Each structure stands twice: as C-alpha cells, then as structure tokens.
Amino acid sequence: MTASIIDGKIIAAELRGRVAAEVARVKAEHGVTPGLAVVLVGSDPASEVYVRSKHKQTQEAGMASFEHKLPADVAQADLIALVQKLNADPAVHGILVQLPLPKGLDTDAVVNAIDPAKDVDGLHPTNAGRLASGMPALSPCTPLGCIILTKSVHKSLEGMNAIVIGRSNLVGRPLVQLLLNENATVTIAHSKSRDLAKLCAQADLVYAAVGRPEMVRGDWIKPGATVIDVGINRLPGAEGKTRLVGDVAYQEALKTAGAITPVPGGVGQMTVACLLVNTLRAACAIHKLPAPAV
C-alpha cells in the first residue's frame, strides 16, 4: 500500500479562489474591502520571502495590503505605537506582526497590544481563551490549515483518534482545540511523553509539529492513518545545498499511512491561504456582516 498524497498546493489554491469570490461579493454588496497589515521588523531573509508571498496573495484575493517595514533596532514603544495606530485604522481588519521578532523586543507585549478583533494570527490571549472555551475566535492559521487538509480526506473527524505531537502556542495547543471542536478524541504528546511510538500507533490522525527532522518513523504509523506533517527543517543536501524535510520520515510513512502531506507542498501552502480566510472573517465581524462562506 502506498499513501495518497494530500496536495496542499491544490487545496490552498481552491481556498484562495473561494476567498477571492467572497471578497468580491462583500465589496459589491456592502462596499467593504478587507485589509491586511503586515509588520516586518528587521531583515530576516525567510521572513522577507514570507511577507512578499502574503502581500502578493492578499492583493490577488482582492484585498487591501499594507506593509510596514521597521529596522531591527526599533524601540519597543515605537513598534507598539504602530500596532495601536493600525488598531485604530478603519481600513485595516487584520494585523500580523511577523515572528520571530529581533532580540530585545518583547513578543508577548507586542501580541497583547493587537486588537483581538484584528488578530489574524490568533495569538492574542483573548482569542486563545475563546478557542479553548469552544467559543468563536480567530484561530492560528497553520492549525486551521491542518484541519482543512484533514477534511479533504475525511468529511467528518467525529470520534476519530488524533495525536498532536508538539504543544506550541502557535500550532500544537490551538490544533488540539480545533480537533476537539470537530469532536475528535485527542492526545497531545511532547518531548516528555513516554513511548511516543505506541501512542502514535493508536491514532487515526497524526499531526507532527515538534520541529525535529524525521522524528516520526514509518513504523509508528497505524496502517491507513492520515498524517499531517507541520515540520519544516533544513538538512544538508547534495553539492553543498540544503533540502527541506518534515518531522515525519516521509518515505517510510508512505508505505504505512493512508494519506500524507508532503514537505514542501503540504501544510506550508495552507498557512497564507488561511491568513486570507481570517482577514475576511475579521472584516465581516468588524462590520457586523454575516460570516463569509469560507
């Protein structure tokens, strides 16, 4: 048996198409153009590539895109002042401060300064608390993408056994809450978990978000399980180049899993698409419009 490949590129493109159609409808019917502001501090090359991708896709979806680039040595007070200015700007419905921030800046203080109604990264404690309470909330984009990818294989996740490996605030913890909202039975595992292979072998759904290259081996996977690999790790490749691998030993897992996301071309494709979803949802909520059909 060879696993079917969950193509994040195709699923993300379809999602962006649905977002663009809803943006056009909201503009035509209500005169509202959703707007996303991205704040980039410093010149981290990976972050710059990511921000360019966000800007391009935001515009392609028919939204307004606002970019703010600040030097790495910006004062904490000046960064927070910019966030507060964006909070007050009626043209901005989503605010994303690109992480990680340079050393010397307090990430928690910056995230906490964002208006929760515009927190399209879903990291503000208000949104995290609402999500944990089963209330409507803006949830982090990567976990949202994981759920959409899973539901491309399984229409309903109700009653399925899921394991989430990794407990970060950005992926692991919110992913657990989203899975509970889907009525899955969830185990959250981490570096202190005992007999991780045995825990994995019981799961219908495996989410690897631990940041360790190829940690999850093929013989950990229950035959036919769906594997969503959130990891993006760079390893040395041929001729001095690097290669991208996930947190799952992909070639091994292909032989056991029923369906699996590749790295690259899986979860990463969904993150920006879900950022557009969150911006559209935020715009509709701020203007007290019905929730968009995405």
- Catalytic annotation, residues: 54, 98, 121
Cα separation, 39 vs 22, in Å, equals 25
Phi, psi of 244 (to 5 degrees): -90, 135
Task: Indicate the DSSP class of residue 204.
Answer: S
Label residues 153-171 b or e (16+ Cβ within 10 Å = b): ebeebeebbbbbbbbbebb
Count CB-CB contacts under 10 A for residue 100. Answer: 12
Count CB-CB contacts under 10 A for residue 126. Answer: 15
215: burial class by Cβ within 10 Å (0-12, 13-18, 19+)?
Answer: middle
List the helix and strand counts (H, then E) for the chain: 10, 11
Q: Which two tokens stand for residue 56?
A: 């391009």
> Contact at 8 Å (CB) between 256 and 3?
yes
Cα separation, 161 vs 148, in Å, equals 17
